[in-house]
Every structure is written in C-alpha cells, then in structure tokens.
Amino acid sequence: MILFLYNLALLVVLVAGAPWWLWRMATTQKYRQGLSQRLGRVPAPLLAPRDRPLIWVHAVSVGEVLAVTRLVQTLDAGLPHHALVVSTTTLTGQALARQRFGADRVFYCPLDLPWAVRAYLRALQPRMLILAETEFWPNLLSACFRRAIPVAVVNARISDRSWPRYRSLRSFWKPLLSRLSLVQAQSAVDADRLAAIGCARVSVAGNLKFDVRAARQAEATRLLSQCAGLRWLVAGSTLDGEEAALLAAWPQLLAVDPRLALVLAPRHPERFAAVAALLQTSGFSWTRRSHWSASSPGPIGPGHIVLLDTIGELASVYSLAAVAFVGGSLVPAGGHNPLEPAQFGVPIVMGPHTANFRAIVDDLLAHRALRTAAAGQLAPSLIALLRDPAAAAAMGARAREVFERQAGATDRCAAAICALLAVASGQERPQ
C-alpha cells in the first residue's frame, strides 16, 4: 500500500511538473543528457555477454564518486570473479566516473519509475546493489528485495537538515529500510538516526571521504606549478554569491601578500559562464583554464585569477594552495568537502554553513585544523593565515594528521561487503 501511494504521488508530480521539465530539457543540457538511460534504456556495453556476475554501485554526483573510488578499486582487486558497474545521477558525476572507472561500465541511474528500474535489474541481474550515502529510492529498493538482491549502503548519513523530514516519515521508511542487508554509517550520530528510521543492520565504518586521495596530478596542477614565485589561494566548490565575496576581498588579500594568485573553482559547470562574466567585469586579470594550451597556462603573474572551468582537477590543484577556501559554506548550502585540501596539509577556511560535513568539520575544528568565518570575516580570516606562514603550516599539518588518523573506512566497508556477498552467494534469487 505504501509503495502504491508513493507511485501515485510520483505520477501526480510528474504530470503536474511536465511543462517545467520539458522546458528545462529544451533549455538545459544537464536535463537532456542521459535521458534515455534514465527512462530505462540500458546502454549497449552493459548488454554484452559476460562471464562474471555484476555488482552495481550507485554514486550520485562528484562527491560520492570521489568517495567510492577507492572502494571500487579495492573491490575490483578483492573480487576478481565479479564485475563492478557504476551509476551516477548528475552530469558532472557521470563525467568524473567515466574518467575514474572507464566509460564502458558507467551509466546514468534510472529514474525511480517501476519500468525503468525493472529494465536495469533484468539486464544487469546484479548480485548486489551498493548505494553511497542515503540514496533510498522506494521502487529500486522494493524491486531488489523482490528479487532477493542484497542492498548495502556505504558512507551512510542523515544530515541535520534532512533529519526532521526522515523522522516525520519513519513509518513510511521503516518497512523498506528494515530490509537493507548492510548499512555502514559515517558516524555514531548517523548510525543512531538510521536505526531510528528503521535500518536494522547498522554499524559505524567511518567516512569514506577520509580515504579520498587525488587520483593523479592534474594537468592544471602541472601547469600552475610552472608559475614560479606565486602563492596560491585555491577557492573550491564555490556557489553563487561566494565568488563575489572572494572578489570583494581580493584587493585586501593582495595588499597583504602581493605574490598571491587565485584559483576559483565553481561547484557546478552550468555556472562557469556566469562566473566568467563576473570576472570579466571585475577589473582583475583572469584566465579560463579551458583556454590554456596543452603546454602552457600563458602569462600568469601576481594578482591573476584562474577560473578552473574543468571537471576532476580541483582535488589535485588544492596541493598547490598556501591557503584554501572550501565553498558552499558562506551561503546556506551545507558546505563541501574540506578533506580534499586537508590531505595535502593545506590550512582551510570555510563559512559557517557546514552541516553536510558536520562530523568532519567538528573534528578539524577540535584539532585547530580549520577556521570558519562569516562572509564579513572572510578577508580577515584569510589575511591572518597569509600573514603568518608558520601558523598556517602548523594548521595544515594538523589537518593532514586528522585526515590520516581517520582513514580506513574503505577497508572496513570492503570487508563487510565481501562477507555479505559470501553469505548471499549461496542463496537462490527469484527471476
């Protein structure tokens, strides 16, 4: 009955929202990209004959793809008689997953429509479904349960913002979540919340994002490192309003450190053009990363701003930073991942909105490895670190210590998945 009501509500939303969706598809590439796959057309590489059972891993966007990269690599090595395929939801997640795992085993996750879900489960016949974080889709979960496909959730969390909504709907979620085979939570708080809404087999494995490592040195990093004598402020994953705040602070920062240059990396590719337009009217010298030649970034000197309008290079570029600002945090969006600069021993500044990475930020703050500042205090916070390189280096070293000490979630999750797979492999699954 609950699933029937969910599908009825889904149908109403789709019908009522059809004009808006059609308009967005006509005007925005990300809504058109992969649409046929989302509606149930399984890509040809996944239909090819295979001699190994599949494990399906779902990672929504860039952050989740980064988080599961080492897990997929670990499972590839530890389960040689299985093949892993990876789905994403967003365009940027798809691009990064193809880069990390190879295009022939990456696809768009179907919408949570009964026929689309059935098409993929019939084609893939997965031995297991692994979900990153809290991608709880009722039709997908129910279809897996009907086929006795075990479902594991890794890096599971419920944010402060989402918790009231989940708690109010726990009577809806409990019948579904109680049937999950394995739930590996990021923290004890997340485990308690997941148990409260119905998850029966929950344990704390830690955060996979503590195991994130830059996969390789990006071409942007190599080119920027050739610019001798510069100190870099890297502002990553910025959202609307944050670029303007950084540009407003830029003259003050240059007055303190005339050797400074700025890398500005907006979170969403669809905003690259808007940020470029903002830079064009700023009066500052700037360059688009996508316009560089293969051999040189061109003339970049003190005070220059580089717009990092590429996918997958930011994690590596953080390694050059004298100071990093992690975006999504000056505006009420929950913040983005401070571990990307922490792995390189870079001192980090964020805004006050950090709920998406609450446990990580709290740990870094407790070890004086991160500073938070409201928009009005952003410039003074950055200036304090730029003026005192020794204190900044010590802060960065503490950030790296936190990063290294919390590592290991990947191995714990992989071991639990392998154990679950060993148990499930002896069970017959209805077709």
Closest Cα to residue 336, out of 15, 63, 145?
63
Would you state the structure tokens that stand for residue 344, as one six-digit string?
A: 């390189």
Characterise 229 by phi-psi region: left (phi > 0), alpha (psi -120 to 50), beta (else).
left
- CB of 269 closer than 8 Å to CB of 91: yes
Closest CA to 203 of 151, 153, 150, 160: 153
CA triple 93-99-103, angle to 5 deg:
90
Dist. CA 18–CA 311, nearest whole Å: 30
Dihedral angle of Cα 267, 269, 274, 277, to the nearest 10 degrees: 100
**CA angle centred on 100, ends 153 and 36, rounded to 5°:** 75
d(CA 240, CA 160): 22
What is the rounded distance in angstroms from the CA atom of residue 107 to the CA atom of residue 89? 9
β-strand partners of 183:
153, 202
Catalytic pick among 64, 135, 242, 243: 64
Residue 313 annotated among the catalytic residues of the structure: no
Report which residue type is found at 313: E
Positions marked active-site: 64
